[in-house]
Amino acid sequence: MGALLGSRQILCIVGARPNFMKIAPIMRAFAQPESSLSARLLHTGQHYDAAMKHSFFEQLDIPEPDVDLGVGSGTHAQQTADIMKRFEPVLDESQPFAVLVVGDVNSTIACALVAVKKGIPVIHVEAGLRSGDRAMPEEINRILTDQLSDLLFITEADARDNLMLEGIASDKVHFAGNVMIDSLRYNLTKAVPANTTLAKANCTFVESPKSDYGLVTLHRPSNVDDPVVLTRLLKVLARISQRTPLIFPMHPRTESRIAAAKLDGLLADSAITTIGPQGYLEMLGLMKDARVVLTDSGGIQEETTALGVPCITLRENTERPITVSQGTNTVVGTDVDAILQCYEDVMETGGKVGRVPDLWDGESAQRIVQTLNAWADTVE
């Protein structure tokens, strides 16, 4: 790796599924001839299944990682520690100009912490988001990564206020927009039509030209690790499916929790079709054509806002408040009546109309790389 990284090279980190769509436009922007900085890619291996990794690299046209740390799963402490231990010698050998991390997963904080202690500048893309919920592992990762970072790129104005409150110097913060929406706009015409994915899953409700369906994703530990909450959510989704058939691409964690709690029967008796984790282009197609999306994902709240599709968020809070104040998102929590009420509202009114937030325009990675080039000139 040493030979690969020169004095103007940025080491970009990915680890888990939601990182892949954020890094793709950044790698593309670094590869433009205007950028005097170039990038290399390191994958920690936090997500390793073909369905959780390989299809994303292919579909998003992300270059093969220059390094794969191959850490795999574990407790948070094990996973974070493993990444740190394996990342340190790579950094020692490669001496990049800076390390760029995205999002809020364990790979983000682990690599940021190793880099900063070696005096290597840390760049955080998607900084400043706060749910206010410290029980969420990602919230801890966000707060700590932002404290360690030298340059912080934010997706919405609220994020700046959050960072100011935590004592981050304002000249480190740059409003660049949302790289996840760069990927969405870049790939929208390549999205796999929903009906193709539904037909593949043998959904009986496939209609021509368009099916009337809802899309579900669930994977947060707070929703799927507690069998009481999981049962409640599956029951309410089963009720909704009687009126709007639901398609449910399942995260491996959720699948194993449903099996462990013996809740498969609940799904079998409903009009919910479960399928394995989907590729990026399949998910884009499923989101785009859905009547409603029910989710606990962070990224999907943003993607549905960009697509103008109603989103019901099955969490008590969101770190992405602009999707509620400007977009199509409603945060309802996990209370059965609140979920049903919100679903009824969406069916009656078609859901919130919303607008696409400022700078969610497909050019965010370009802005980030321009800012980094200017910054590199000042520090070299």
Catalytic residue among 43, 124, 174, 219: 219
252 binds ligand UD1, rule: CB under 6 A: yes
Contacts with 228 (C-beta within 8 Å, 6 or more apart), sequence order: none
179 binds ligand UD1, rule: CB under 6 A: no
Q: How far apart are CA 230 and CA 299, in angstroms?
A: 21
Closer residue to ligand UD1, CB minimum distance, 76 or 190: 76
- The CB-of-222 to ligand UD1 minimum distance in angstroms stands at 11
> Pick from 1, 4, 38, 52: which binds ligand UD1 (CB under 6 A)?
52
Q: Which long-range contacts (CB under 8 A, 24 or more apart) does 339-342 make?
A: 339/236, 339/240, 339/294, 339/312, 339/314, 340/236, 340/239, 340/240, 342/312
Mark 128-157 with x for binding to ligand UD1 (rule: CB under 6 A) and - for no binding.
---------xx-------------------
Only segment of 101-109, 167-175, 207-215, 314-322 that touches ligand UD1 (CB under 6 A): 101-109
Sign (positive/negative) of CA torsion 85, 90, 92, 93? Answer: positive
186 binds ligand UD1, rule: CB under 6 A: no
CA–chain centroid gap for 195, Å, is: 24
Within 33-190, residue ranges assigned H as helices are 54-59, 76-94, 106-117, 137-148, 157-165, 179-187
- The CB-of-135 to ligand UD1 minimum distance in angstroms stands at 12
- The CB-of-224 to ligand UD1 minimum distance in angstroms stands at 9
46 binds ligand UD1, rule: CB under 6 A: yes
Take residue 208 and report the two structure tokens written for it: 């021509």
| Cβ proximity of 242 and 151 under 8 Å | no
Closer residue to ligand UD1, CB minimum distance, 49 or 133: 49
- The CB-of-136 to ligand UD1 minimum distance in angstroms stands at 9
Closer residue to ligand UD1, CB minimum distance, 17 or 288: 17
DSSP E strands, the chain: 9-14, 38-43, 67-68, 98-102, 122-127, 151-154, 173-175, 214-217, 246-249, 272-275, 292-295, 311-313, 329-331
102 closest CA partner among 298, 262, 333, 378: 298
Q: How far apart are CA 333 and CA 103, in angstroms?
A: 23
Phi, psi of 12 (to 5 degrees): -95, 140
43 binds ligand UD1, rule: CB under 6 A: no
16 binds ligand UD1, rule: CB under 6 A: yes
82 binds ligand UD1, rule: CB under 6 A: no
219 binds ligand UD1, rule: CB under 6 A: yes
> Pick from 10, 12, 13, 18: which binds ligand UD1 (CB under 6 A)?
18
73 binds ligand UD1, rule: CB under 6 A: yes
- The CB-of-139 to ligand UD1 minimum distance in angstroms stands at 10
344 closest CA partner among 270, 230, 243, 223: 243
- Say how many residues touch ligand UD1, by CB under 6 A: 18
219 counts as catalytic? yes
Only segment of 16-24, 313-321, 342-350, 358-366 that touches ligand UD1 (CB under 6 A): 16-24
Q: How far apart are CA 142 and CA 102, in angstroms?
A: 10
44 binds ligand UD1, rule: CB under 6 A: no
String of b and e for 92-115 (b: at least 16 CB within 10 Å)? eebebbbbbbbbbbbbbbbbbbbb
Closer residue to ligand UD1, CB minimum distance, 251 or 367: 251
Interface with ligand UD1 (CB under 6 A): 16-18, 46-49, 52, 73, 104-106, 137-138, 219, 251-253
